Amino acid sequence: MGFPTFALLLALVPLAASHGDHGDYSRPSRRPSRPSSGSSSRDFSCKNLPEEVQGYHADHQARYVELERPLREGDTVIIRGKLGPGRNPQKRFYLDFARGPVRTYRTQPRTFPSTFHLSAQYDTGSLYFGRFNGKDFIDFWTLSNPFTEARFTIRVEIKEDGYAVYKDDIYLATYKSRAYTSVQVIYLENLTVDERVRCKDPECAHLSGDKLTVVIGDGKITQTRGTCPYERKF
């Protein structure tokens, strides 16, 4: 099992949202505002993804995507995309659930701790699970890489004991970690998610509960607070 070269040493570039299609909006809450704790007082928002910046690897582009609030048990993060064009030094993409918010990186711009690191390593045929403590990868293990160069959907469900990972609705594994409550940034490297479409309202008018569903794809990040009275397919 080869140890990954990805060390998460990053020169932070200020984030800037693209406004090319003027598609950003949010919908006011239909229920009383919640107490402020780093979360929004809105049920639904749809925004352009931040512009890509230089990733750790010279041939890879990356994005820091900030969440409305830290993750909690019951939340879901969905990523729709495909392998990016970077091939040097390896043919891989990287996904990290990083401690946040983004502004904290300005005090430690060359590294950040990741509570969950997923790397699809096309060059070795491995899917790497681990975490990064700011210095070393720890508690890591691998599966066979199920990803191809076709588009895919990654769904990560936040469970009481960690991150349950699915590819195209097929369960892969659960990475055990309870540090998700500190996560407010999703880091993507060499992962293309920028096919732009216009924002669409949720399928139901009234949402209930406080579950956060984050969808990253189509050039957007949508964040929905609450659930519909019926199941929605993403």
How confident is residue 137, by pLDDT bands cut at 50, 70 and 90? confident
Tokens of 197: 């479409």
Whether 194 and 188 have beta carbons less than 8 Å apart is answered as: no
In the three-class reduction of DSSP (H, G, I as helix; E, B as strand; rest coil), residue 180 is classed as helix
Quote the pLDDT of residue 8.
40
Q: CA 3, 5, 7, 8 torsion: positive or negative?
A: negative
Quote the pLDDT of residue 49.
93
Asked whether residue 186 carries a pLDDT value surpassing 80, the answer given is yes
β-bridge mates for residue 66, sequence order: 185
Q: Could you tell me the pTM of the whole model?
A: 0.79
The average confidence (pLDDT) of the chain is: 80
**CA angle, residues 161, 162, 166, in degrees to nearest 5:** 130
Q: Are strands 42-48 and 25-28 parallel, antiparallel or unpaired?
A: antiparallel
91-125 pLDDT, tens digit per residue, is 999 999 998 777 665 444 456 789 999 999 999 99
Quote the pLDDT of residue 148.
96
Quote the pLDDT of residue 181.
94
Q: Distance between CA 204 and CA 139 in Å, rounded?
A: 41
1-33 pLDDT, tens digit per residue, is 444 443 343 333 333 333 334 355 455 444 433
Higher pLDDT pick, 62 / 29: 62
Domains of the chain, by residue range, sit at: 25-227
Q: Where are the beta strands (DSSP E) in the chain?
A: 25-28, 42-48, 53-54, 61-66, 76-83, 92-99, 114-121, 126-132, 137-144, 152-159, 162-167, 170-176, 183-189, 191-192, 208-217, 220-227
Going by C-alpha positions, the residue among 201, 155, 159, 190 that lies closest to residue 176 is 159
Tell me if the bond preceding 4 is cis, omega within 30° of 0.
Answer: no
Q: What is the percent of the chain with per-residue pLDDT over 90, rounded to a whole number?
A: 53
Quote the pLDDT of residue 103.
67
Q: Distance between CA 198 and CA 74 in Å, rounded?
A: 27
Residue 136: count of CB within 10 angstroms of its CB: 11
Higher pLDDT pick, 129 / 204: 129
- Domain 25-227 = CATH 2.60.120.200: yes
